[in-house]
Each structure stands twice: as C-alpha cells, then as structure tokens.
Structure 1
Amino acid sequence: MGQTLFDKIWDAHVVSSAEGFPDILYIDTHFIHEVTSPQAFDGLRTRGLPVFRPKQTVATADHNVPTWDQHLPIKEALSRYQVDMLTKNCAEFGIELYGLGHPFQGIVHVIGPELGITRPGGTYVCGDSHTSTHGAFGAIAFGIGTSQVEQVLATQCLLQSRPKRMKIEVNGKLQKGVGAKDIILYIISKISAAGGTGYAVEYAGDTIRSLSMEGRMTICNMSIEMGARCGLIAPDETTINYVKGREFAPKGEDWDKAVAYWQTLYSDEDAQFDSVLSFDAADIEPMITYGTNPGMGIGVTQNVPATADIEKAEQPSYTKALNYMGIHDAEPLLGKPVDYVFIGSCTNSRIEDLRQVAEFVKGKHKADNVTVWVVPGSKQVQEQAIREGLDKVFEAAGFPLREPGCSACLGMNEDKIPAGKYCVSTSNRNFEGRQGPNSRTFLASPLTAAASAITGVVTDIREFLSESEFAEL
C-alpha cells in the first residue's frame, strides 16, 4: 500500500517508536517568539540544561511589538518585558534573534518561508497555533505548548502521536474576486470549526495547485481553525521556484540534492486517507464570517442563518455569538457599516497580499467612517512594498503602511479594536475579544477588506469587477 505525503515525512523523522506510546519525532527547525518561550527558558535554567541545537532555533519578536515607532521603547509594560526577556534569553542560550530593528524581523510564520528556512520535507514547530502555515511547502508543521517548547529546546525532539490523515480536494475554476482566503473560509464553514479535529489535512486538487505559494500559505495557516493538527500541500515547481535563491535555501550541489528529494514528496496514488472531502471551486463566493468562530461564515451575499435552522443543542451558543456580534437572525451582512479594516497577520500580510490591495485601491480613498491599518508581515515585506511604491498608493488612499508585527490580529499590543466596533479583518480568528476587549470581527479576504474600507460597509468585491482595470483580480 502506498503512503500519504504526511506519512513519508513523519516516518523520515521518527527517532524512536514503541507500541502504545507516542513517537519521538525529530524537529528540523524550532521557531520561537516572545510570548510562549519565557517559561521554557526558565525550565532549562532550573534543570541546568543548554539549548541542544541552537542553530536550529529561530527567534523573532512579533506578537507584542508596536507597529509605529519601533525605534522607540515599547510603551506597554508587559509587551516591553516580554520582548526584553526574549532578547535576554536568546543572548544567554546562543540563539540568533531577529528582533526589532533587524532586517529579518517579522511575524514568525512570514519570515520562515521568505528566508528559505521553511522547506519541503521538513518538520517545524513553534509555540503558536498557526505554525501550520509552513505546511504549504510540503512539510509537517504544527503549534506546540510551552512545556513542549522546553522539550524541543532541550532535545530537538518531541513526543507526538501520529494523527489521522484527511484529504481535502478543491477542483475547478474560481470566480473573479475569489482567492485563497475565501477557499479556506468556505471549507471551514462547511465542515465546522471542529471538522478537522484529530487530522493532518492534505489539500489537493487543481484549484489548490493553481495557487501561488502565498495563497497556499493562507490555506494552511487556517487549518487549525477547523481543529486540524496541521495542513500541508505537496511541493511542485511553484514551491521549488519560490524557495530557490532565498537567504538560507540550499546552494549549489546541496540545492540539486534537495530538489531531487523534494520531487519524491507526494501522496502515492494508492495511499489511504481516513477521510476524503471534495469541493467545487465554482461554488465559492467571497466569504465573510458573522459569529465568534471561523466556522461561522457565509458568502458575502447570503444572510446570516436563522437560529431555528441551527441544531437545537447548538442554539444557546449560537444565540450568544449573535448577541456578542450585535447581529440578528437572517440578517444580511452586505451593506453593514464597519469601523475598522485590518490588512495583515500571518494569514494575509505578504507582499502578494499588499500588491493586490494596492492595485485595487489605487485612485480611490477610504470612507470617512473607517480607520484602516495595513501591517506588513515582515521587515522584508515592508521594504519591498516601499521599493515598489505601494506605500505611496496606500498613503493616497488613506491606508497608512505601518511597521511589521502581529498587530490587530490579537490584543497583545497597542493595535486594539475598541469595544463594540466592527472590524473587517484579514486575520484568522474572530473569537470574543480577540482583537481587543468586546471588539467585533468579520474575517474576510484582503480584497473584501479593501473594498469595505473604500465603501465604509461590508462589500462584495465583485461589484467592482466590471471595471476594466480590475478584470484580472
């Protein structure tokens, strides 16, 4: 019987396996940031242990950093303390840190791929649930808890049970204005925020194959939002071309050997999956969420479901979510006023996202009632955007380009959405208070977010697509 892509990679990294016990899995690269690493380093100190392989640990500051005036001391005391502790810990344990001011600083799941650290066939972990992003390269990548961060720092290995395998196929041609974010929000809306629990998900089909690497990263990033352990996509020429020539990508003969191996990384035709789901790309329209988990999503032209149509056992939590969001049964979201638009996060803050938004907003201006934050995912993305003149386009449209960080994806820094305000966000979670205490979040694609910023209300991007300059969006 053939093997799945997941099993090929997993088996190549098992150090030890025993019946009835988790496998000991070797980790190729361990990403760390300021939020989930301090207790792990304290654990090493208590036990008198060094970091076992510091060269395979990559550190950056992202969650707590401000996105204005990064050359100045951080204002929030807790944020400043956590970033300072990361600096201290990395210096003490010999770990390279891409901190504020470093040309490689940025969101951990953006810098790994753009630096060529993330590669096909590897294993990657981080104390952050959206580590699944790296699976877009044909790798096993998942988030871990603080005690596991300590375990990997001490041993470069992890005790881990093998998950079940799921394949999700998407085939067909997407409508204009529909992109990777809409695909994954659509899938989650169909299978629920728990539909992938216990699985490693491989995304396949010609629609997935047609996506750029940045689109594939968006898909894999949100695997955790359906409860999956990780998500991955088999590498192909798109993958190889993306990695080639990057800062830490293999060079010369090492590159040739790496590519030869990467070309073996696919699920065999007779590989068995525990679950297989299929979707038609033509059924997907621009998506938006209306509730307090990413599974509560609808096409932008649809109405919010009525409580009576929800399973009886789920009705109390459904009602609670609608009350929190200030939304009524069967209400349309199209045309609903918004207060903030956030374009950023590890889901949608790469240069491709910014280029797409800049192309759309050029010659337009945001609505007066909307505050817009455009936050690049890394220093390299920021500098590229400036070289291409995107910052000038954004500035003219009232979309100021900020400095890199996690920003308004989560309420751990200065970029918080005020209580009761609505934000159309390109991030990955719409939990209660995620973007700030009592804030209200609509998850959407960069194009939907940009269109909503221009009109001041939740907008169907397709309304603009009759205009010739947007015909290819």
Structure 2
Amino acid sequence: MSDPQTLFGKIWDRHVVAGLAGGAELLAIDRIFLHERTGAAALNSLKAAGRPVADPSRVFCVMDHIVDTRPGRGDQTLMPGGQAFITETRAAAREAGITLFDVTDPDQGIVHVVSPEMGIVLPGCTLIAPDSHTCTQGAFGALAWGIGSSEAEHSMATGTLRLTRPKTMRVTFTGTLAPGVTPKDMILTLIARHGAGGGKGYAVEFAGEAVRALDMEGRMTLCNMATEFSAMTGMIAPDAKTYDWLRGRRYAPRDAMFDRAVADWQTLPSDEGARFDIEIDIDASAIEPMISWGTSPEHSSGISGSVPADAPERPVAYMGVEPGQKLIGLPIDAAFIGSCTNGRLSDLRRAAALLKGRHVASGIKALVVPGSMAVRRAAEAEGLDRIFTAAGFEWRMSGCSMCFYAGGESFPAGSRVISSTNRNFEGRQGPNIRTHIASPETVAASAIVGCIADPREIAA
C-alpha cells in the first residue's frame, strides 16, 4: 500500500510531467486566466517570440483590475492610460483565440469570482493567473496560485510551468463559529496569531468542523487570504457542497460525465494519517469579529480589542492610532463592500440584512461593488440594491474598484476607510488612505454608526 497522501500531494503528483535539475518539477497546467492589467503584455510577448497559445480553450481573460465600476461604463477609465490596457488586451485576446469576458459582457467580473461561477475551476485541476489571490479557487479542491506575466507566457506556450514543491501545512478550525463571526474573521485570526509570513513556503489546507460547515462562498473567502499568510496557496477538500455548486455550471462536466468526475473528485481529500510538515489548530468558537489596526493583515485584533501596547511605530503613525487605543468607536470617513474576498452574493445579503431600514451616518461615503455582473443581477433580483441605495450606499458595476488603487478612483486623501478587502498596506486604496479590513457585516455596522462598530450589537 502507498503512504497516505494529502490533497495537495495528490493533485501535484497527478500533474508532474518531468523532474528537473535542482529538485524542481515541470507541472501540467489545466487552466490559465489573464486580466487586462498584464494580459496584453503576456500575449504580445508570446506573439513577438513567434509562439502560439498551445491550447486556447484552456485560456481565459477578464477585464477586472482597472475597469471603471460606475454605471454606464465603457472602455474609458479614471486611471491614466487605462483605456489602452483594455483595448490592447481585447485585441490580443481575440487574435489568440482565447475566451474573453469583456467590459460589457454579462459574465464580466473579478477573475476569482467569474471562474467559480462558470465552473472553470474544478476539483483536482491546476489553475494559474497573474494575480496573487488566485488561491481563492483552492476552495474547490484545486491547486490554484498566482504567477507573473513571464510565467503566464510560458504556460500558455507549453501548457506547463516549472516549480519547486512547497511544504505542506494543515490549519484545522475546531468547534463552531459564534453568530456574527465569519470566514473573514477566521483567516484574520490565523494571520494575526501566526504572522503575515507564517505560511511562507507552504501549501495550506484548511480543515476542521468549522471549515466543513462553511458554504462555498465562505470557503472562497478563507482561501482568498492564504496569500496574505504568504502561503503558496490555500485549499479545502471537495465534498458534496462543492459538487452541488458545480453541477450545471457552463464549463463543468455534464450528465454521466459529471457523475464520473464526482467519483474521481471523491478520491482527492487527504487520506487519514497523511502527514503535514506543520499542523495548526484554532478553536473557532473563541473567534470574534476581527478588525485590522495597522498596515498588514497581521496587524489585526478582535473587535473588542485595542491597538497593542508594543505596536510598531510606522503602522501606528500611518494609521493615526495610538498603542492601547480601543478600536471600537474610532471614527471613519468611508465604507467599502466588494473585492474578490467579500464581493459575492452571500456577502451582500449579510450586509444588506444589517442595513435594511437603517442609513449610513452623516458624511460617510459608502460603496458596494459586486464581484461580478452575475452577482449584481442576482442581488438586484432580490432587491438588495434597493436596500443599499436606501441606506446611502452607491451601487456599482463589478470590478476590483477601490480595492486595488492604480492611479484611478480613490477616496479623498487621508480618509479612514473600513473595507471588506484583503489588503491594508500603505496606499492600497489610494494615497494616504487608512484602511481597516473587516467582514462585510462589520463594514455595514460601522457605516451605520460612523465609527468602527461591532456588527453583533447592530444585529441585536
């Protein structure tokens, strides 16, 4: 009998094409995603080298990073030169014959939202994109990770990529989450306790009762921020929830082929007795809503906590907080709900439930940017857009808007923003913007009160 294997090990071994010098291996790549910020560069470089895309049916491209999210948008953007990124990527994608989800396509959205919606990501597959949050899609039991443009070029030309096998880590969340506590709070707890570099060099599998209890959108949130833990990727074993999500999706297998696929996917979860290089256990029942106070996700605390007494000087100075200062009650200027972390339908539902019949505090700029146009349509069908707008939120088109600042739209300089995004480093949401990352519920609650607030108190 073979030794027990991890989920990661099974997928990796299935995709090894050849061993290479120095211990690296050549892996087969099943799916490749591009976006408009770097897509044209990779495709045009490939063309200049005289190399075609080996299998265009495996390559997809979205317009998401720099597109305008205001209603009525087109190719024009607030980012200087942004329109050229869009038009050049469109031309290159069409010439290469790859699938493009264009600006006005009804299926446009953020890559890590669109791919699961379409059933492009599947259990057991390898999927790459020039975006560090590609690990989001590990929630489906896939091996998904972010790459650079040159690696995208190589993989499109050869269908392979050279990698050195990472170590493995299992993070087990035991127990049950308390009401009002979310997957965003789970991952921020992990990073706050073990550091933003705690996962460096590892492929992380999330496991345990609290993880199994999450729906697929919650699992995507958890895996999304594995890169903020410096992990190569985050993964969750596929189960019945995974299969139910994928059934009937556009690119998923169908009919008898789907049943055969499920039979194979059921062999993927880590075997009993499989060994990981590191094991971390976290009691999920002890987690409370989390909020960041500094300029890294590791600078986070429970909502009832304070800025640490020994907090580093630079993040404290940038964020305009003081060691020992309570986080609840800290005034905010703006609130943002969206991003590939928390821009899905369930995120919008939970935020809207708190906002219904309430209004944001005077002077607060508040925005909702759905993660995809499909999410936007579904939310509108449920009337969520009307709840948000009645509460004082702007209702936008889908994209990475206001999560990723590239010289385009921003909040006013110096604003303190509570955000459902994944990063809070200096300038992430614009020049001198002070970003506190939290769950959509905490964002909504804080927008109502006008300062950082505990969503559990609003819900009560």
The TM-score with structure 1 as length reference comes to 0.95
CA distance in structure 1 between the aligned counterparts of 2:35 and 2:459, rounded to whole angstroms: 40
Conservation of the 8 A alpha-carbon contact between 2:75 and 2:103: no
1:69 and 2:66 correspond: no
Q: Which amino acid aligns with 2:64?
A: D
Instruction: Give 1:19 shift.
Output: 5.6
Conservation of the 8 A alpha-carbon contact between 2:67 and 2:75: no
1:98 and 2:101 correspond: yes
SS in 1 for 2:340: coil
- What's the counterpart of residue 48 of structure 2? 46
- What's the counterpart of residue 337 of structure 2? 343
Instruction: Give 1:357 shift.
Output: 1.1
Deviations 1:375-411 (A, max 9, x none): 0001101111111111111111112221000011111
CA distance in structure 2 between the aligned counterparts of 1:139 and 1:96, rounded to whole angstroms: 21
- What's the counterpart of residue 192 of structure 1? 195
- What's the counterpart of residue 32 of structure 1? 34
Count of matched residue positions in the alignment of Structure 1 and Structure 2:
457
Residues 1:13 and 1:88: Cα distance change in structure 2 (over 3 Å): same
SS in 1 for 2:33: strand
Conservation of the 8 A alpha-carbon contact between 2:337 and 2:343: yes
SS in 2 for 1:408: coil
Segments of 4+ moved more than 6 angstroms: none
- What's the counterpart of residue 55 of structure 1? 57
SS in 2 for 1:97: strand
Mapping of 1:191-270 within 5 angstroms?
191-270=194-273
CA distance in structure 2 between the aligned counterparts of 1:434 and 1:183, rounded to whole angstroms: 22
CA distance in structure 2 between the aligned counterparts of 1:46 and 1:414, rounded to whole angstroms: 30
SS in 2 for 1:377: coil
Deviations 1:402-442 (A, max 9, x none): 10000111112643122211110101000100000111100
Where do 5+ consecutive residues of structure 2 fail to align? none
Instruction: Give 1:171 shift.
Output: 0.9
Mapping of 1:113-124 within 5 angstroms?
113-124=116-127
CA distance in structure 2 between the aligned counterparts of 1:415 and 1:375, rounded to whole angstroms: 13
Conservation of the 8 A alpha-carbon contact between 1:70 and 1:100: no
Instruction: Give 1:20 shift.
Output: 2.5
Q: 2:163 aligns with which of 153, 160, 163?
A: 160
Deviations 1:306-365 (A, max 9, x none): 12xx6xxxxxxx201110111111111110110111100000001111111111111111
Conservation of the 8 A alpha-carbon contact between 1:178 and 1:285: yes
- What's the counterpart of residue 302 of structure 1? 305
SS in 2 for 1:407: coil
Conservation of the 8 A alpha-carbon contact between 2:67 and 2:77: no
Q: Which amino acid aligns with 1:166?
A: M
CA distance in structure 1 between the aligned counterparts of 2:326 and 2:177, rounded to whole angstroms: 23
Residues 1:6 and 1:73: Cα distance change in structure 2 (over 3 Å): closer
Q: Which amino acid aligns with 1:321?
A: P
Larger CA deviation: 396-405 vs 159-168:
396-405
CA distance in structure 2 between the aligned counterparts of 1:116 and 1:412, rounded to whole angstroms: 30
Where do 5+ consecutive residues of structure 1 fail to align? 311-317, 467-473
Q: Which amino acid aligns with 1:430?
A: N
Conservation of the 8 A alpha-carbon contact between 1:65 and 1:413: no
Instruction: Give 1:266 shift.
Output: 0.7
- What's the counterpart of residue 177 of structure 1? 180
- What's the counterpart of residue 328 of structure 2? 334
Instruction: Give 1:46 shift.
Output: 2.2
CA distance in structure 2 between the aligned counterparts of 1:153 and 1:70, rounded to whole angstroms: 33
The TM-score with structure 2 as length reference comes to 0.97
Deviations 1:200-228 (A, max 9, x none): 00000000000010000000000000110
Identity of aligned residues (%): 47
Q: 1:389 aligns with which of 383, 397, 415?
A: 383
- What's the counterpart of residue 130 of structure 2? 127
Conservation of the 8 A alpha-carbon contact between 1:63 and 1:413: no
Conservation of the 8 A alpha-carbon contact between 1:421 and 1:439: yes
CA distance in structure 2 between the aligned counterparts of 1:19 and 1:202, rounded to whole angstroms: 28
Conservation of the 8 A alpha-carbon contact between 1:66 and 1:413: no
Q: 2:287 aligns with which of 284, 289, 302?
A: 284
Residues 1:321 and 1:240: Cα distance change in structure 2 (over 3 Å): same
Q: Which amino acid aligns with 1:53?
A: D
